[in-house]
């Protein structure tokens, strides 16, 4: 086990990518909880989610990596940042970066390199035609439907989909009902009461 | 159980998930801004997702990745309801500091 780990550190690009994305994950997660400005925390959290998507890509879970970017880094963070903008009463502090152009350039280079490495991590999990695909090799899925032959799914997305709709159909439907109830509850909770409408008609909240 | 996933030892990934979970719990404990507490809860859920994917790959069984999909859906529902609650509380208290939310009556 130890010899294998030493060999990995010397030779494997997957392992180096894992070290990079793990470091970025820990640093940005610490930044989330130690930054004073909540908007900076939210941006750090976006980078945590992107780095975790990179780790999923290295491990070959491409569907999860895509969902991580779409759902967490996209939808949930838009919701959080929108609520922060509604609630924030702090002074604007981001424009300080115009006074430090070197810091801005370094930050831009870092972000560009980060997304290039994210692209590398995602393509690490994608199979090439001449070698055994890393996203494919563990993903064979077969489920015997009653009285028929087994369903064979190849590839990460098809396998996760087959597992969702064959093994986990009832939890899937329950999740849809849960989301419906959550959306209705959010609308009811955030709605203004009738008595407040006249007082706060021309303010945002 | 396969101890190495794509040349990464499983113990390293589990260690990263543990660190991430600890950071999330620390954030819930030390911060007073309620939106940042929500972000810390998202960190905790993400560390759990990482463990699910790791064991799904290590055990060569796809159910772990399916469960991650469900965890993401529940996190989205939690964020929608929780942030609506934050807005409703902010409208009454004019504050997002949890130290000032001492009573359940409005």
What CA–CA distance (Å, rounded) separates A41 from A92? 14
Place A6 in a pLDDT band, splitting at 50, 70 and 90.
low
Whole-Å CA distances, A187 to A71, A87, A126, A173, B74? 20, 17, 41, 22, 17
Task: Please indicate whether residue B33 or residue A51 has the higher confidence score (pLDDT).
Answer: A51
Tell me which chain A residue has its CA closest to the CA of residue B10. Answer: A59
Contact predicate A41/B39, CB 8 Å: yes
The answer to whether residue B90 neighbours chain A at the CB level (below 8 Å) is yes
Whether A186 sits inside 8 A of B33 (CB atoms) is no
Task: Please indicate whether residue B89 or residue B2 has the higher confidence score (pLDDT).
Answer: B89
Average per-residue pLDDT in chain B?
Answer: 87
User: How many domains are there within chain B?
Assistant: 1
User: How many domains are there within chain A?
Assistant: 2
- Residue A25 within a domain: yes
What CA–CA distance (Å, rounded) separates A133 from A130? 9
Place B47 in a pLDDT band, splitting at 50, 70 and 90.
very high
The answer to whether residue B74 neighbours chain A at the CB level (below 8 Å) is yes
Residue A37 domain boundaries: 8-90
Q: Of A68, A90, A112, which residue sits at a domain end?
A: A90
With vertex at residue A139, the alpha carbon angle to CA A135 and CA A143, rounded to the nearest 5 degrees, is 160
Residue B37 domain boundaries: 10-96
pLDDT per residue as tens digits for the range A158-183: 778 878 887 889 999 999 999 999 99
Contact predicate A53/A67, CB 8 Å: no
pLDDT per residue as tens digits for the range A30-80: 999 988 888 889 999 999 999 999 999 888 888 899 899 999 988 888 888
Q: What is the pTM of this model?
A: 0.80
Chain B interface disruption, residue of A76, A122, A158, A183, most B CBs within 10 A: A76
Contact predicate B23/A33, CB 8 Å: yes
Mean pLDDT computed over A194-200: 55
CATH code, B60: 1.10.287.3510
The answer to whether residue B101 neighbours chain A at the CB level (below 8 Å) is no
- Residue B41 within a domain: yes
């Amino acid at each position: 086990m130890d010899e294998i780990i030493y060999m990995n550190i010397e030779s494997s690009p997957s392992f180096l990518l894992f070290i990079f994305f793990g470091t970025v994950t820990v640093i940005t997660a610490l930044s989330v909880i130690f930054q004073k400005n909540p908007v900076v925390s939210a941006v750090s959290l976006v980078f945590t989610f992107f780095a975790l998507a990179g780790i999923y890509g290295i491990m070959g879970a491409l569907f999860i990596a895509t969902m991580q970017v779409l759902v967490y880094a996209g939808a949930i963070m838009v919701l959080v940042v929108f609520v922060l903008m509604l609630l924030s009463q702090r002074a604007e502090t981001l424009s300080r970066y115009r006074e430090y152009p070197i810091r801005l350039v370094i930050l831009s280079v870092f972000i560009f390199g980060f997304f290039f490495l994210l692209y590398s991590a995602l393509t690490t999990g994608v199979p090439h035609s001449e070698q055994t695909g890393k996203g494919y090799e563990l993903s064979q899925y077969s489920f015997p439907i009653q009285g028929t032959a087994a369903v064979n799914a190849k590839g990460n997305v098809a396998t996760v989909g087959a597992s969702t709709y064959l093994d986990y159909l009832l939890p899937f439907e329950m999740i849809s009902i849960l989301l419906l109830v959550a959306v209705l509850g959010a609308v009811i909770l955030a709605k203004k009461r009738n008595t407040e409408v006249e007082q706060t008609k021309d303010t945002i909240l | 159980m396969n101890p190495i996933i794509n040349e990464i030892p499983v113990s390293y990934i589990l260690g990263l998930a543990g660190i991430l979970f600890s950071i999330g719990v620390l954030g819930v404990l030390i911060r007073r801004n309620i939106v940042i507490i929500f972000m810390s809860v998202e960190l905790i859920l993400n560390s759990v997702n990482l463990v699910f994917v790791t064991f799904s790959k290590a055990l060569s069984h796809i159910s772990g990745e399916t469960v991650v999909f469900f965890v993401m859906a529940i996190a989205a529902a939690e964020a929608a309801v929780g942030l609506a609650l934050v807005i409703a509380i902010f409208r009454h208290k004019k504050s997002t500091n949890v130290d000032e939310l001492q009573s359940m009556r409005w």
